């Protein structure tokens, strides 16, 4: 609607309610408006209640660009994986954008959420890590990175980074370490972690296969190759049901000797 006048002409009556048709990339909608005095309308509302309409609100600084991340720790390795689809609403923006970022050669950050916030968070972390390396003359250890990430997120407690992070790496003893985060810096070291749009499909699966819950057979330590296969199956599962997960999954295995990466194709639908 280009102007108030054209909008006023377009107002239609539907089911006894006056409404303004709007069109977006996800289809159309009828925004209820009030031109007269009634319970919903305020006398001084210049937009006739449009911004209070349930469908579309005012400007939001956040947008969810989709995707899922998963990290699993082992006795001497950590596996971290994330799909490579970038989306906005029902549209796919790219099938090949990484969600994984190596902070050191022993520590990888996987983030789903709003891509611009994720990128900015990474830039900030990279700078802090460089300063640490300059001052301490060694790269940051994974538990220290974990703490720093938590602090960095809390720093923006009242305008958060819309980033759902998993941190995976090996600690100074060479044992696998995985940390889960929320958007405002609460974190915890956990045996595994999943975040993003497909986390609900992955976490119950991991509970059974990795944490060995609700199983009668003997729990055993899994070698990293087997965990990678489990991760691939998990992402196939999540990709089936979650529209934002698919295209490909990037899997990194971190050991004390360094990082290896593998890309596994998923369904593109």
Partner 1 sequence: MFRNQYDTDVTVWSPEGRLLQVEYAMESVKQGSACLGLRSSTHSVLGALKRSVSEHASHQKKLLEIDDHMGIGIAGLTADARTIAKWMRNECLNHKYVYGTPMPSGRLLTDLADKHQRTTQTYVRRPYGVGLLVASYDKNGPHLYQTCPSGNLYEYYASAIGARSQSGRTYLEKHYETLNDASRDDLIMHALRALTGCVSGDVELTKDNGSIAVVGKDEKFTLIEGDELQPYLDRLELEGGTGGGDDDDDDDDDEEGGEEETKEEGGVEAMET
Which residue ranges make up the site for partner 1 (CB under 8 A)? 123, 127, 130-131, 134
CB 127 to partner 1: min, Å = 5
Please say which residue, 140 or 253, places its beta carbon nearer to partner 1.
Answer: 140
Q: How many CB atoms lie within 10 A of CB 230?
A: 17
Name residue 195's beta-bridge partners. 69
CB 122 to partner 1: min, Å = 11
Please say which residue, 101 or 175, places its beta carbon nearer to partner 1.
Answer: 101
CB 119 to partner 1: min, Å = 11
CB 164 to partner 1: min, Å = 23
Long-range contacts of 223-229 (CB under 8 A, 24+ apart): 223/74, 224/74, 224/77, 224/79, 224/253, 224/255, 227/72, 227/74, 227/77, 227/79, 228/79, 228/253, 228/262
CB 207 to partner 1: min, Å = 40
Q: Backbone phi, then psi, for 56, in 5-degree steps?
A: -125, 125
CB 134 to partner 1: min, Å = 5
Please say which residue, 127 or 268, places its beta carbon nearer to partner 1.
Answer: 127
Instruction: Give one word for 174, left, alpha or beta, with left for phi > 0 and alpha for psi -120 to 50.
Output: left
Please say which residue, 35 or 127, places its beta carbon nearer to partner 1.
Answer: 127
Distance CA 17, CA 48 (A): 13
For the chain, how are helix, strand and coil distributed in percent, rounded to 5? 30, 35, 40
| DSSP conformation letters of 128-139 | HHHHHHHHHSSP
94, 86 contact by CB (below 8 A) = yes
Please say which residue, 81 or 129, places its beta carbon nearer to partner 1.
Answer: 129
């Amino acid at each position: 609607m280009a102007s108030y006048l054209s909008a006023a002409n377009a107002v239609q009556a539907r089911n006894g309610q006056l409404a303004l048709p709007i069109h977006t990339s996800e289809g159309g909608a009828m925004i209820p408006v009030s031109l007269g005095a009634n319970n919903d309308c305020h006398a001084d509302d210049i937009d006739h209640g449009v911004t209070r309409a349930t469908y579309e609100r005012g400007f939001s600084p956040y947008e969810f660009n989709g995707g899922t991340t998963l990290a699993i720790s082992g006795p001497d390795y950590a596996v971290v994986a994330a799909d490579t689809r970038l989306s906005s609403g029902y549209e796919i923006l790219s099938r090949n954008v990484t969600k994984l970022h190596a902070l050191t050669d022993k520590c990888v950050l996987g983030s789903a959420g709003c891509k611009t916030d994720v990128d900015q968070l990474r830039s900030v972390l990279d700078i802090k890590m460089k300063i640490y390396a300059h001052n301490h003359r060694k790269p940051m250890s994974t538990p220290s990175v974990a703490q720093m990430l938590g602090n960095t997120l809390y720093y923006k407690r009242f305008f958060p980074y819309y980033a759902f992070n998993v941190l995976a790496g090996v600690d100074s003893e060479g044992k696998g370490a995985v940390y889960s985060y929320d958007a405002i810096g609460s974190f915890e070291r956990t045996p595994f972690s999943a975040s993003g749009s497909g986390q609900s499909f992955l976490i119950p699966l991991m509970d059974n296969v990795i944490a060995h819950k609700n199983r009668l057979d003997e729990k055993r330590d899994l070698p990293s190759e087997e965990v990678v296969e489990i991760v691939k199956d998990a992402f196939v599962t999540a990709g089936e049901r979650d529209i934002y997960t698919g295209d490909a999954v990037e899997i990194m295995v971190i050991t004390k000797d360094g990082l290896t990466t593998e890309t596994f194709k998923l369904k593109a639908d």
